Structure 1
């Protein structure tokens, strides 16, 4: 069976719910940025040697598939009925990681330059892509209705990346 369908040859793509839209639409651009973020998180995961760090990154990778899926669906009810969704529990999970590392780390009073390790540098790429994807989601939410928990989750991912990636990873280079 061929991987190509030729359905997108004229600049359109199919969404999860079967709707066809332009590949240049705000919806496609938005879930595409989270796809880019997920690919970068996956690369960072492969660079980490710490089992704890890998588990956290893999959980985020998994959840991002559902985030992307919901954004890639005009009929949100259809997605919710047939898939896993982002919930307050997912927001709470990220908050628990942020809180744990905040308690463990000394106060940071200066910027931390990326690149102390390959994994650390890759996680800084994740941080910048996450911030860009978050800005895009905010634009998307001005035009389309999304569940508020999605914006909340993405904001925590962004907070998580600033805190955890800049502090935890850079201070535990020996674990990467």
Structure 2
């Protein structure tokens, strides 16, 4: 059996290669964006270890595959990705995440106040996923200012944080009442 090559030493001078071979600094915005998607994927994996609902578990696994695909999309040189943009995130993916949001939201009480993150571990982890998803979305929008990014990717990332918000509320409702933000002195 051939051993995997874990280290290549090609990044020892502060550069890395995009898919396609172009070398860029490790501080490049694209790396920050797809690195944040990778971070989010790790948080989603951790959250999925805590989820007991089989439908939510399966959907989180689907999201992990999509996040990995989005990371590879952002890591691909612009001139190499145009033909593949439609296969990254399609309208059906946006519809699928919106459907999940609607299902979960229909099971929750109407919200008219801000919710504090917390309540239990799965809810807290979902809130971490929500905030990392928001950061990833901001970074990808920043990338889109200089490089073409498919509109569906941006829409999907926007829905992603909404999904984690309703999932956090659902998970929090299993063991505790929601904690609402109170203005002023407490």
* Structure-1-length-normalised TM-score: 0.89
CA contact (8 A) 1:44 1:119 kept: yes
Size of the alignment, in residue pairs?
173
- In the alignment, which residue of structure 2 is the partner of 1:138? 141
Residue 24 of structure 2 aligns to a residue in which SS? strand
In structure 2, the residue corresponding to 1:143 is in which secondary structure?
coil
Structure 1 or 2, whichever has the larger Rg, is: 2
Q: Is 1:118 matched up with 2:149?
A: no
How far did residue 84 of structure 1 move? 5.1
SS at match of 1:21: strand
1:63 maps to which residue? 66
As a proportion of its length, which structure holds more helix?
1
| 1:69 Cα offset (Å) | 0.6
- Residues 82, 148 of structure 1: alpha-carbon distance in 2 compared, 3 angstrom cutoff: closer
CA distance in 2 between counterparts of 1:166 and 1:49 reads 13
User: By how many angstroms is 1:170 displaced?
Assistant: 1.7
Which ranges of structure 1 fall in alignment gaps of 5 or more residues? none
Matched with 2:157 is 154
> What is the CA RMSD across the aligned residues, in angstroms?
2.1
Could you tell me how far apart the structure 1 residues matched to 2:85 and 2:157 are? 22
5+ unaligned residues in a row in structure 2: which ranges?
177-186
User: Matched residues in 1 for 2:38 and 2:82: separation?
Assistant: 18
Per the alignment, residue 171 of structure 2 pairs with 169
Q: Is the 8 A contact 1:114 1:120 kept in 2?
A: yes
Equivalent residue for 1:12?
15
What TM-score, normalized by structure 2, do the two folds share? 0.84
